[in-house]
Structure 1
Amino acid sequence: MLRRQARLRREYLYKKSAETRHKKIQEKKELLENSLQKNTQIHGNLQRQAIQLQEKLKYNVEDPNGITEANIDDEYRWAGCEDPKIMITTSHSPSARLKMFVKELRLLFPNAQRMNRGNYEMKQLMHACRANDVTDFIIVHEHRGVPDNLVICHLPYGPTAFFNISGVVMRHDLPDVVPMSEQKPHLIFHNFKTKLAERTMNILKHLFPVPKKESKRVMTFANHDDYICFRHHTYQYVNKELELKEVGPRFQLKLYQIKLGTLDELQAANIEWVSRPYMNTAAKRRFLSDDDGWVQDDNEQF
C-alpha cells in the first residue's frame, strides 16, 4: 500500500512538472505572437529566446477537441461527477468560540463532517481521510479565541491553499438570525481576473456540489484588493419582489500561499505561489484582479 502511494505520488509530480514547463513555454509563445501581430516591441524577458520561440510557432496546431496538456493532469478533472466529501477540524485545544465557528462552517458545506482534533497527528488524519475517500480537508486555526487562519487541502495529492481570516462575524452576532438552509448553494465569484485568481476560484468552488436550479441559497466570494469577502444569503420572492436575507457567517479571506502537496508532506512539497509582502512593489500589485501581462520567473508559476 505504501509503495503504491509513493509510486502514484511520483507519477503525479512528474506530470505536474511537465505541465508547468509546457505552460511557461506556451505563455511566452502567446506573448511573442501578440507582439508580432501588433508590431510592438518584444518583452525584455523574451528577446534572447525570440528567434527560438518564433521557430516553434510554426508547429503550433490547435486541437479541435480542446484537449491540451493543461487539462490532462488536473486535480479537479473529476469534479462534478460526485459530490465532494469534506472533513473539517481545528487546531489542538480549540477555544469555545473556535468550536462555534467550525460548527457554523460545517453547515456551509453540504456533505461535510466535523471532527474533534484531539491528539491525532497530521499523517494519521491524512491516511484516514484518503482511506475514506475524503476529497478536501479543512483546518481552522485561531489566535486568542479569534479564527485567523484557514487551510484547505485537496486530496489525495494536493494542492494545499493557506488563507488568512479576518472580520469574522458569527451567525448569532448578526442582527436578524435566519435559519440555516442546507440546500446546495449557487456560487458568485466577483473580480477574479488573473490566472492565480482562477486557481483560487477552482480551489474554493470545488468545495461545493453542483446545485439545483430551484435552490434559494447563494454564497458570494467578492474580491476587493486581494481580500475575498464571503457572504451567505437566502432569497425569496414576496409579492413579486426579491427579498434577500443574510444567513451568515461572514468573513474575509486573503490568500498567502499555495503548495503542491498535502499537509503531511509540506516540507517536501513545491511552492506553487507565495505572497511576498516585503517587496517594494507589494503594496501596489494586485494578484487576483489585475493582469498586466507580466512574464513569470522560471522559479515561480504565477
Structure 2
Amino acid sequence: MAGKRKKSDGEEGGGGEDEPVIKKEKTKKEILPSMIKNKDKRSEIHAKLQHQKKLDKRKRAKARDAAIKRALELGEEPPAPKIPRTIENTREFDETVCMPDDEELFAGNDADEFSSIMNRERTPKILITTCRFNSTRGPAFISELLSVIPNAHYYKRGTYDLKKIVEYANNKEFTSIIVVHTNRREPDALLVMTLPNGPTAHFKLSNLVLRKDIKNHGNPTSHEPELILHGFTTRLGHRVGRLFQSLFPQDPDFHGRRVVTFHNQRDFIFFRHHRYVFETKETKQTDSKGTKTKDAKDKVSQEKIKARLQECGPKFTLKLISLQNGTFDTKGGEYEWVHKPEMDTSRRRFFL
C-alpha cells in the first residue's frame, strides 16, 4: 500500500541485525496505601507491607549474624555494628559542649559557687520548704526528699517571705534551699537555691510517682548515697550538674548500696533512686550432655550471685526553666539562662 512507511535500516527486520532491539516498557506507578480509597483494602495492603518489612529486617539480621560468625571462625575482624540513628546522636552542633581537655572549664570549677562543697570544706546542709499554699501530696513528696538527701531539714513556710527565709538560712549556715511549689494539689515546680551567693535554678516538675505507688519498692537506709550524673554535656549542663552535686555529700557510703541518679536526655532530667540487691541462687550441676546427674555424690549445687536494682522512689522528671545569678530575686535578678518558646526551633537542638 502506498500509505505504508518503509522500514529503515535501523528498525526491526531492516538489516540492523547486530544492534539489539530496544523496547520501551511502561513503568508501573507504585501504589501506596494512602492512595487507596477503600478502607478495608488500604488496611490489607498496609498490613502486607509491614509484614514484608519485618521479613526483610529478619533476613538482614540473619545475614549479619552469619557474617560475624564466619569472620570469627576465619580469625578475621567482624564487621562493625550498625549504630541506630537517633535524635541524640544527630543533635545540632553546639559550640558549648564540654571537651575532656578543656582546661578553662576545670580551672573555673575551682572558683565557682560549689567549690567549697566539692573540696569538702563545707558539709551540705539543705533547707526544704514549700510555697505558701501547700497541697495534699506536697508533704508526702517532701518526706521522701528528706529520706533521699542527707542532712536535709524541713521548715514550714507559713507566711514568711522567701527573702526572709534566705536570710535565716544564711544565719543557720545552710548551703542550699529547695522550695517545692504546688498547683492544684500537685507538686509542679522546684526552686533550688545555692547559698550564700547563688545560683538559683527553677525547674518544672512532672511525672511524679511516690514510693507507695511503685511496685515492689525498697526502703532506703540512712547510708549516704552514691550520686550518678549522666548526659550533662554543655557548659550549662555542667553547671546544672554541679548544682545537683552540691546537694549531696562527696563521700558516699558504698556499703549502703544506695544510688541516686540524675539522667539528662533531650533536656529532660530524670530522677531515680535505687538500691543494689545481691541474690544468691543455687543451680544443680549437670553433665556434658546437659542432663542432671543421678548419683547423690555428683549432686553438687553451685551458688551464683546475681545483682539487680530495686527502686526506692520517688521518681520524677525535671526540665530547666531558668538559671539565675545570686539568690532568688524576681525584680532585679540577672539570669544566666532562660528558656523561651522561640528557642525551640528544632527537635534536635538541646541546651544541657
TM-score w.r.t. length of structure 2: 0.60
Aligned equivalents of 1:256, 1:88: Cα separation in 2: 20
5+ long unaligned stretches in structure 2: 1-102, 281-304
1:142: which partner in 2? Answer: 182
Q: What secondary structure sits across from 2:115 in the alignment?
A: coil
Q: 1:154 to 1:225 in 2, by over 3 A?
A: same
| Structure 2 residue identity aligned to 1:134 | F
Q: Quick check: 1:171–1:177 contact (8 Å CA) kept in 2?
A: yes
| Structure 2 residue identity aligned to 1:163 | F
1:281: which partner in 2? Answer: 345
Deviation string 1:249-293 (CA, Å, 9 cap, x unpaired) is 000000110000112x342221111112224625441111xxxxx
Displacement of 1:218 in angstroms is 0.4
1:227: which partner in 2? Answer: 268
Aligned equivalents of 1:121, 1:94: Cα separation in 2: 15
| Structure 2 residue identity aligned to 1:158 | G
Displacement of 1:82 in angstroms is 3.0
Q: Quick check: 1:257–1:274 contact (8 Å CA) kept in 2?
A: yes
Aligned equivalents of 1:72, 1:95: Cα separation in 2: 40
Aligned equivalents of 2:346, 2:322: Cα separation in 1: 15
1:253 to 2:318 alignment: yes
Q: What secondary structure sits across from 1:98 in the alignment?
A: helix
Q: Quick check: 1:166–1:253 contact (8 Å CA) kept in 2?
A: yes
Larger radius of gyration: 2
Q: 1:246 to 1:132 in 2, by over 3 A?
A: same
Give aligned pairs, total: 223
5+ long unaligned stretches in structure 1: 1-61, 289-302
- Find runs of 4+ consecutive structure 1 residues off by over 4 angstroms: none
5 Å-filtered alignment, 1:40-189, equals 68=107, 70-71=108-109, 73-79=111-117, 80-189=120-229
Q: What secondary structure sits across from 1:78 in the alignment?
A: helix
Q: What secondary structure sits across from 1:214 in the alignment?
A: helix
Aligned equivalents of 1:197, 1:252: Cα separation in 2: 16
Q: Quick check: 2:262–2:271 contact (8 Å CA) kept in 1?
A: yes
Displacement of 1:220 in angstroms is 1.1
Q: Which has the higher helix share?
A: 1
Aligned equivalents of 1:228, 1:165: Cα separation in 2: 10
Q: Quick check: 1:234–1:244 contact (8 Å CA) kept in 2?
A: yes
Q: 1:188 to 1:280 in 2, by over 3 A?
A: closer
| Structure 2 residue identity aligned to 1:76 | F
RMSD after superposition: 2.0
Displacement of 1:94 in angstroms is 0.7
Q: Quick check: 1:259–1:266 contact (8 Å CA) kept in 2?
A: no
Q: Quick check: 1:226–1:287 contact (8 Å CA) kept in 2?
A: yes
Deviation string 1:6-55 (CA, Å, 9 cap, x unpaired) is xxxxxxxxxxxxxxxxxxxxxxxxxxxxxxxxxxxxxxxxxxxxxxxxxx
Deviation string 1:89-111 (CA, Å, 9 cap, x unpaired) is 11113112111111111211100
| Structure 2 residue identity aligned to 1:189 | L
Deviation string 1:204-261 (CA, Å, 9 cap, x unpaired) is 1110002133330001111111101111001132122102100000000001100001
Q: Quick check: 1:139–1:150 contact (8 Å CA) kept in 2?
A: yes
2:82: which partner in 1? Answer: none
Q: Quick check: 1:194–1:287 contact (8 Å CA) kept in 2?
A: yes
Aligned equivalents of 1:67, 1:251: Cα separation in 2: 30
Aligned equivalents of 2:106, 2:133: Cα separation in 1: 48
Q: Quick check: 1:186–1:215 contact (8 Å CA) kept in 2?
A: no
2:336: which partner in 1? Answer: 272
Aligned equivalents of 1:119, 1:189: Cα separation in 2: 36
Q: Quick check: 1:88–1:102 contact (8 Å CA) kept in 2?
A: yes
Q: What secondary structure sits across from 2:256 in the alignment?
A: coil
Displacement of 1:189 in angstroms is 1.5
Aligned equivalents of 2:146, 2:344: Cα separation in 1: 39
Displacement of 1:150 in angstroms is 0.3
Name the % identity.
38
Q: Quick check: 2:135–2:183 contact (8 Å CA) kept in 1?
A: no
